[in-house]
Amino acid sequence: MNEASLRSILFCLVELLFVLDKADESQADTDFCVKIMEVVSAELQNISDTDVPKLIAMLNQIARDESREDFKRFLEDFAGNFGLRGRDG
């Protein structure tokens, strides 16, 4: 899979998590949203230490290109919030 495809998949994943994070009780059950985020965070721990910096670089690039300030902040905080910070070399 090429880098552009991986970036698209990453964008979709982060956008989905952002929507869940911003959803209120009338849109999505809070416990459900937290469970999804915990599952994603746990699964991201399986990414190899050599691939984590590449993933974070992609997140940073997506953040640089993003015009929505709240989503931009979510992207910038993603690595720390989902257990990747500190594994980025």
| 33-77 residue pLDDT tens | 999 999 999 999 999 999 999 999 999 999 999 999 999 999 999
Cα separation, 37 vs 73, whole angstroms: 17
Residue 67 token pair: 């015009």
pTM tops 0.75, yes or no: yes
Residue type, 26: S
User: Which residue matches tokens 């698209």?
Assistant: 8
Is the pLDDT assigned to residue 88 strictly greater than 70? Answer: no
Total residue count of the chain as it appears in this document? 89
Q: What distance in Å separates the CA atoms of residue 29 and residue 33, rounded to the nearest whole number?
A: 6
